[in-house]
């Protein structure tokens, strides 16, 4: 979602617009490879059209979930790119070190990798910390605000609105890290808020096209 506060505090700085999670491969891999190959960077693009870079599949980490079974708050899952040209890559993160961290924000780095591991396990949490325990085990609705939490480090996926990266596609996109930003009430800020977008009949956010 876009930044709630639309006030323009500086002449050369616009409030964060709505954006979506995207795979950003290196330029040499774009030119040579027939499909996406890991590791790839992760950015947030203001282009909200669905494409290969922004389409993902949620899969069970142990096969206990059947295909089509609803994802529930607290369930562990892999967030993967599509098969074939998508490369079937896994969203991954690891604790930030001096040698391995996000390029500009220096926070915990997020990448797409080729093989699953304990660093590719994620879960959905309710965005309201006061309601989080009550929602544990309840199916996650599509097109609703939620947190994407990394199990290993217990940090949330975040859009670094103050750091913009120029991609090999010629676009400027927000850097994405794994860092929990809290406000004065110990609640996650809107840079940690994400939506799992899916076409739903009658939905106001992302309805199915006629």
CATH number reported for the structural domain that contains residue 41 in this entry: 2.80.10.50
Q: Confidence class of residue 205 from pLDDT cuts 50, 70 and 90?
A: low
- Residue 209 covered by a domain: no
Residue where the block lists tokens 């929990």:
180
- Residue 5 covered by a domain: no
Domain encompassing residue 155? 20-195
Q: How many domains does the chain have?
A: 1
Backbone conformation region of residue 154, classed left if phi is above 0, alpha if psi is from -120 to 50, else beta? left
Mean pLDDT of all residues in 176-189? 94
Residues 56, 81: Cα–Cα separation, whole Å: 5
- Residue 205 covered by a domain: no
What mean pLDDT, rounded, does the chain reach?
89
Q: How many alpha carbons fall within 13 Å on the CB side of residue 206?
A: 14
Say yes or no to pLDDT of 182 above 70: yes
Mean pLDDT of all residues in 72-82? 95
- Residue 35 covered by a domain: yes
Mean pLDDT of all residues in 109-114? 95
Higher-pLDDT residue of 16, 2: 16
- Residue 94 covered by a domain: yes
- Residue 53 covered by a domain: yes
Structure confidence at residue 3 (pLDDT): 74
Contacts of 53-56 with C-beta under 8 Å, sequence gap 24+, read: 53/22, 53/23, 53/24, 54/20, 54/21, 54/22, 54/23, 55/81, 55/82, 55/86, 56/21, 56/80, 56/81, 56/82, 56/91
- Residue 187 covered by a domain: yes
- Residue 174 covered by a domain: yes
Higher-pLDDT residue of 38, 183: 183
Q: Confidence class of residue 12 from pLDDT cuts 50, 70 and 90?
A: low
Structure confidence at residue 28 (pLDDT): 79
Structure confidence at residue 68 (pLDDT): 80
Structure confidence at residue 105 (pLDDT): 93
């Amino acid at each position: 979602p876009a930044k709630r506060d639309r006030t323009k505090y500086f002449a050369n700085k616009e409030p964060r617009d709505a954006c979506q999670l995207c795979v950003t491969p290196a330029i040499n891999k774009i030119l040579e490879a027939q499909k996406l190959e890991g590791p790839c960077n992760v950015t947030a693009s203001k282009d909200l059209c669905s494409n290969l870079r922004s389409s993902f599949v949620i899969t069970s980490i142990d096969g206990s979930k059947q295909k089509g079974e609803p994802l529930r708050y607290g369930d562990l899952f892999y967030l993967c790119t599509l098969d074939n040209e998508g490369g079937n890559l896994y969203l991954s993160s690891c604790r930030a070190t001096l040698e391995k961290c996000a390029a500009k924000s220096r926070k915990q780095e997020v990448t797409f990798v080729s093989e699953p591991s304990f660093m590719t396990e994620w879960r959905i949490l309710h965005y309201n910390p006061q309601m989080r325990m009550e929602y544990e085990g309840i199916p996650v609705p599509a097109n609703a605000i939620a947190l994407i939490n990394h199990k290993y480090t217990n940090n949330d996926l975040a859009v670094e609105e103050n750091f913009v990266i120029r991609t090999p596609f010629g676009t400027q996109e927000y850097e994405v890290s794994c860092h929990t930003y809290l406000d004065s009430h110990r609640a996650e800020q809107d840079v940690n808020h994400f939506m799992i977008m899916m076409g739903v009949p009658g939905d106001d956010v992302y309805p199915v096209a006629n």
